[in-house]
């Protein structure tokens, strides 16, 4: 399965940086997260390496293996810095394993990376995305290590720790001669089918005897004949560490398919192997083995996920549970009001308990905390416990954060003790684990087991192992260690024990670098820019605030941490502005076209800027809260200043209004009455008209009724940049301004089109005006015109409207479905009502003439399909040849249309389109036809093929109210390119062929990714929509 992926010295290195399968490594944008409360590090999954991660964690938690590997120094293994030197002998695999184990022990990160290790294996990105069998990986990895360590003091590392011996014997019943053969093993492979557990399987293998008799006799070399005999096997030599592989996967010869054996299969925590070994003088304690690792497979025989249960022999991790008691939970109403509460766990738990779903956004949790105890988290707890989200992360056994950390809920198994008991344990729970601190629950009677699932590490109890006896998620490999192997006291809770000095130094330096990166990242993620507008440097002018001096002196940019409070911001500004005297009020401001406007005063010094929803780049006005430059300032969105363009006629020298137009900008509060315009312009009274743009792009004016003059600008729908026209009230009619800047009397804009009767049918009226707007549909105009012209109703089915140009020529017909705007027809246009239908969306309307260069013919019209081809045409040889005098591409289309044109003109056509066409043009056209057919086929495929994302049900589980992949996204979602013209049945059949492992019925449903996970919306039954391209199986 793995081939030569572990051949360290094979010539696999290529100088081509674009070698197929080579990974492009990019630096992570953010540093890895620190370790969680268990103080143990997981391993990141590279896409399909969960099986590798489980095995590496088992080797890492085998201290004797880890320390034996650490004992090999650079003088024997070489150095990774020299791996590119041709003359250097560098044993990359053991060096990368050493480095990985050191990271798992000492590097403060949630999960380590195996990218460098898999590179040393020679794996490509394809291998990292494919899942393999962990049992086979165990054997091949050990073989690769043995090969790599040849010639070093660790050449027998694998043999000394894992290699045992089995002796197979055949005993002749006649002469009692014993034929014996020994074989080595690194792991014992035991059957699962029809066996109750490990001890029964070992009994069948190493105690039960196989008898040769009747038709199955044995040829004895001593007796030189066929005799009755007995065959048996025994464990001859036991290794310090015993690996047991369970045969969960079998083959059904009836169905001709593989399947996974999920029946109950027990295995003991401690096992005595003496009954399965040869008799010897060894003490019974030499045969006692303790379970310390269980690799678990979840899924079927064609895919799944691996994780591992591991016993922490050296107590390196923080193994601790919240005690489960059957006492009522603490509720918010039970907490004392008006007094300080020192237990944040109690308060937060009580707040969440009162929620109906025990779920809250983290921001709302902080607000409810403030409302309950009168102090924000930052004021009360931040100094001792750190940020709120970090506190929730550290107590994941009580609080469950969503993947994006936006919401928090209570753990289902969470229950808090009463305050008296809780306070005794609060310090222990809240204290972050460190590698040097003493471990909790150090009692040897309580083994420390952890579930390590790629990056996640969780403590479990020993009894949880029984859950892996059976089912789709069950034990796959067992690892036992000899009970006599005792760890030295100095190794207990000491991750630095026997780690080489050069690795200790490397990890210490890496931790310092990680802390620096996290601090920089934390600062970058939480710092934002604020623009401080200083009140003393502003004055109120023309309805808004403007700098007295330059913008540079009036506006200061401040970088600030949004997790700090408003009080902290105020204090920082006080320190910056040494000249400030008196009260300081901070208000949110915004630059509008009129200038700077103040919207909202910031209150609540105990609230963080994040809780107050202050945005990055926010404008903050710093003032005394009352006046600026002696002028009292109105604030809020209600009085937001509007910058309007006011148009009115100028007054002559005699004081009379002249025809000259004046346009000026004025600022008005949005809550002021429209009538204030007259005051601003010193006009006693007049008519106000508001500009509005028509859909045709033309500007029109609407008069404001006298009773609406008392309405505010906002109520009239005016915004910044709106135009307002002021006219004298003594005019006979309203006036509008033409493009030439002159006044024209009358406000009745053209709102009609003229339709002429060109059907050659008698009618009382020759033309009529039809009222219309730019959004009127052509069909409605045509029907109204037929009625008003009093023509036959039959014309409704066989007529069309054609625009008439200035010369009286009829232009191509306008489709009935178009609006006047879509047809690019203006108000007042002339249209002709003609017999015949307008071309459809797949047809073209063409003008053509039939004649010669000397005597042009009459212009004629024709409607043709866009898809008509040359092969469908029957044209005369002379006409066809004449067309080819011009080699331009549009001639191809003209040739295609020529038959219809000739028929329309009443000319004969012949059935030989190749007559008298030059050979080079024939070849060119034939090649062009072939190319066109190919392009159409490719275009047809491109237009009708689309991508579907198939989410495979067996690879999903239901968690926290939504569906989530059991393994990686890559293994759970398959992309399928499919023709949308095919049926749902065709799709189902294609998926059946892809998923060879599928058994039973298959249902396809439309699903959608929502923030909570994947949700199924609708079962597909007989139909499907190409727009819904997420499918759930």
Catalytic annotation, residues: 50, 305
Residues sharing a CB contact under 8 Å with residue 313, sequence separation 6 or more, in sequence order: 61, 63, 292, 481, 487
Residue 467 Cα to chain centre, angstroms? 33
Residue 611: burial class (beta carbons within 10 Å; 0-12, 13-18, 19+): buried
Percentages helix, strand, coil for the chain (3-state, rounded to 5) are 30, 30, 45
The two beta strands, 111-112 and 42-43, are parallel
Q: What does the angle CA 154 – CA 159 – CA 162 come to, to the nearest 5 degrees? A: 120
Helices (H) and strands (E) in the chain, counts: 25, 50
For residues 758 and 196, give the distance between their C-alpha atoms in angstroms, rounded to a whole number. 97
Q: Would strands 303-311 and 449-453 be described as parallel, antiparallel, or unpaired?
A: antiparallel
Beta bridge partners of 848: 860
CA angle, 504 then 506 then 507, to 5°: 65
| DSSP string covering 731-787 | SSS-EEE-TTS-EEE------EEEEEE-SS---S-SEEEEE--TT-BHHHHHHHHHH
Q: 99 Cβ partners below 8 Å, 6+ apart?
A: 80, 116, 503, 506
List Cβ<8 Å contacts ≥24 apart for 324-332: 324/413, 324/415, 325/415, 325/417, 327/415, 327/417, 327/418, 329/353, 329/415, 329/416, 330/416, 330/418, 330/419, 330/422, 332/372
- For residues 537 and 554, what is the distance between their CA atoms, to the nearest angstrom? 5
| Two structure tokens written together for 664 | 């000026």
Strand partners, 249: 260
Sign of the C-alpha dihedral, residues 711, 717, 722, 728?
negative
Q: What angle do CA 924, 925, 926 make, to 5 degrees?
A: 95
Q: Answer yes or no: are the C-beta atoms of 353 and 334 closer than 8 Å.
A: no
**Residues 265 and 202: beta-carbon distance below 8 Å:** no
Q: Which residues contact 435 (CB under 8 A, 6 or more apart)?
A: 39, 106, 316, 495, 496
Burial profile 735-746: b = 16 or more Cβ within 10 angstroms, e = fewer: bbbeeeeeeeee
Residue 322 is encoded by which pair of tokens? 């919240």
Whether residue 546 contacts residue 555, with contact meaning beta carbons closer than 8 Å, is answered with no
Contact call for residues 598 and 621 (beta carbons, < 8 A): yes
- Cα 952 to its chain centre, rounded Å, is 18
Most distant CA atoms of the chain, gap in Å: 148
> DSSP string covering 500-533, please?
-HHHHHHHHHHHHHHHHHHHHHHHHHHEEEEEEE
Residue 918 burial (10 A CB sphere; 0-12, 13-18, 19+): exposed
Query: Closest Cα to residue 60, out of 457, 436, 512?
Result: 457
Helix (H) / strand (E) element for 300: namely strand 288-300
Strand 973-979, strand 945-951: pairing: antiparallel
Say if CB 534 and CB 577 are below 8 A apart. yes
């Amino acid at each position: 399965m793995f081939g030569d992926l572990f051949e360290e010295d094979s010539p696999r290195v290529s100088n081509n940086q674009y070698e197929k399968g080579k990974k492009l490594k990019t630096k992570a944008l953010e540093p890895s997260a620190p370790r969680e409360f268990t103080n143990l590090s997981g391993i990141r999954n590279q896409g399909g390496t969960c099986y590798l991660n489980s095995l590496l964690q088992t080797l890492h938690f085998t201290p004797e293996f880890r320390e034996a590997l650490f004992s090999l120094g650079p003088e024997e293994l070489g150095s990774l810095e020299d791996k590119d030197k041709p003359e250097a002998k560098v044993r990359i695999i053991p060096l990368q394993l050493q480095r990985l184990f050191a990271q798992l022990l000492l590097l403060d990160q949630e999960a380590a990376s195996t990218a460098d290790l898999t590179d040393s294996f020679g794996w490509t990105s394809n291998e990292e995305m494919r899942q393999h069998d962990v049992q086979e990986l165990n054997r091949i990895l050990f073989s690769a290590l043995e090969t790599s360590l040849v010639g070093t003091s660790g050449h027998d590392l694998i043999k000394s720790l894992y290699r045992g011996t089995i002796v197979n014997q055949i005993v002749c019943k006649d002469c009692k001669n014993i034929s014996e053969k020994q074989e080595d093993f690194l792991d014992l492979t035991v059957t699962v089918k029809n066996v109750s557990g490990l001890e029964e399987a070992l009994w069948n293998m190493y105690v039960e005897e196989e008898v040769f008799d009747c038709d199955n006799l044995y040829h004895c070399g001593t007796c030189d004949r066929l005799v009755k005999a007995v065959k048996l096997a025994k464990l001859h030599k036991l290794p310090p560490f015993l690996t047991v592989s369970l045969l969960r996967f079998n083959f059904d010869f009836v169905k001709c398919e593989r399947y996974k054996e999920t029946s109950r299969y027990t295995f003991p925590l401690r096992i005595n192997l003496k009954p399965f070994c040869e008799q010897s003088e060894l003490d019974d304690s030499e045969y006692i083995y303790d379970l310390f690792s269980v690799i678990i497979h979840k899924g079927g025989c064609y895919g799944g996920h691996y994780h591992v249960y591991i016993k922490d022999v050296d107590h390196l991790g923080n193994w601790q549970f919240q005690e489960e008691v059957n006492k009522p939970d603490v509720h918010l109403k039970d907490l004392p009001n008006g007094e300080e509460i020192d237990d944040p766990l109690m308060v937060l738990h009580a707040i969440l308990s009162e929620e109906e779903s025990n779920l809250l956004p983290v921001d709302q949790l902080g607000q409810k905390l403030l409302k309950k105890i009168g102090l924000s988290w930052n004021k009360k707890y931040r100094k001792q416990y750190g940020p709120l989200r970090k506190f929730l992360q550290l107590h994941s056994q009580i609080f469950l954060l969503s993947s994006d950390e936006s919401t928090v809920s209570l753990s289902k198994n969470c229950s808090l003790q009463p305050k008296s008991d809780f306070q005794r344990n609060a310090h222990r729970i809240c204290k972050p684990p460190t590698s040097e601190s003493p471990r909790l629950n150090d009692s040897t009677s309580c083994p420390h087991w952890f579930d390590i699932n790629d990056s996640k590490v969780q403590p479990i109890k020993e009894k949880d192992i029984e859950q892996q006896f059976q089912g789709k998620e069950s034990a796959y490999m067992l690892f036992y260690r000899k009970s006599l192997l005792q760890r030295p006291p100095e190794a207990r809770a000491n991750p630095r024990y026997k780690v080489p000095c050069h690795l200790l130094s490397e990890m210490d330096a890496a931790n310092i670098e990680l802390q620096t990166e996290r601090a920089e990242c934390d600062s970058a993620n939480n710092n934002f820019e604020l623009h401080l507008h200083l009140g003393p440097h502003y004055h109120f002018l023309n309805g808004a605030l403007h700098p007295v001096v330059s913008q540079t002196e009036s506006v200061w940019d401040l970088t600030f941490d949004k997790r700090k409070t408003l009080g902290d911001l105020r204090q920082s500004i006080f320190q910056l502005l040494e000249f400030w005297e008196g009260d300081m009020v901070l208000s949110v401001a915004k630059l509008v076209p009129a200038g700077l406007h103040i919207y909202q005063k910031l209150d609540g010094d105990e609230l963080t800027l994040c809780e107050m929803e202050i945005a990055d780049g926010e404008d903050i006005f710093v003032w005394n809260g009352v006046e600026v430059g002696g002028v009292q300032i109105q604030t809020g969105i209600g009085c937001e200043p509007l910058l309007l363009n006011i148009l009115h006629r100028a007054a002559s020298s005699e004081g009379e209004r002249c025809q000259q137009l004046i346009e000026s900008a004025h600022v008005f509060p949005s809550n002021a009455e429209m009538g204030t315009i007259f005051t601003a312009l010193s006009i006693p009274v007049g008519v106000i008209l508001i500009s509005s743009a028509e859909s045709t792009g033309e500007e029109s004016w609407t008069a404001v009724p006298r009773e609406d003059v008392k309405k505010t600008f906002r109520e009239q729908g005016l915004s910044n940049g709106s135009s307002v026209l002021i006219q004298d009230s003594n005019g006979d009619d309203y006036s509008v301004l033409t493009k030439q800047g002159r006044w024209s009397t009358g406000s009745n804009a053209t709102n009609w089109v003229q339709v002429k009767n060109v059907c050659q049918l008698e009618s009382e009226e020759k033309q009529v005006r039809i009222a219309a707007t730019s959004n009127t549909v052509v069909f409605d105009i045509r029907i109204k015109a037929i009625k008003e012209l009093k023509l036959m109703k039959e014309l409704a089915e066989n007529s069309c409207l054609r625009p008439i140009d200035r010369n009286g020529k009829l232009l191509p017909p306008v489709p009935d479905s178009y609006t006047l705007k879509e047809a690019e027809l203006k108000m007042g246009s002339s249209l002709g009502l003609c017999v015949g239908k307008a071309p459809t969306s797949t047809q073209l309307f063409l003008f053509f003439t039939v004649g010669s260069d000397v005597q042009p013919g009459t212009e004629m019209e024709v409607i043709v399909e866009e898809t008509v081809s040359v092969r469908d045409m029957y044209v005369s040889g002379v006409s066809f040849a004449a067309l080819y005098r011009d080699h331009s591409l549009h001639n191809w289309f003209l040739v295609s249309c020529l038959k219809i044109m000739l028929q329309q003109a009443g000319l004969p056509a012949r059935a030989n389109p190749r007559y008298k066409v030059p050979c080079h043009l024939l070849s060119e056209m034939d090649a062009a036809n072939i190319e066109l057919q190919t392009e159409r086929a490719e275009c047809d495929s491109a237009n009708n093929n689309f991508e579907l994302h198939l989410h495979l049900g067996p690879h999903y589980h239901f968690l926290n109210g939504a569906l989530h992949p059991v393994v990686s996204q890559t293994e759970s979602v398959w992309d399928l390119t499919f023709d949308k013209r095919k049926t749902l049945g065709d799709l189902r059949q294609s998926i059946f062929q892809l998923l060879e492992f599928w058994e039973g019925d298959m249902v396809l449903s439309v699903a959608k990714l929502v923030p909570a996970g994947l949700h199924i919306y609708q079962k597909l039954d007989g139909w499907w929509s190409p727009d819904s391209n997420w499918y759930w199986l």
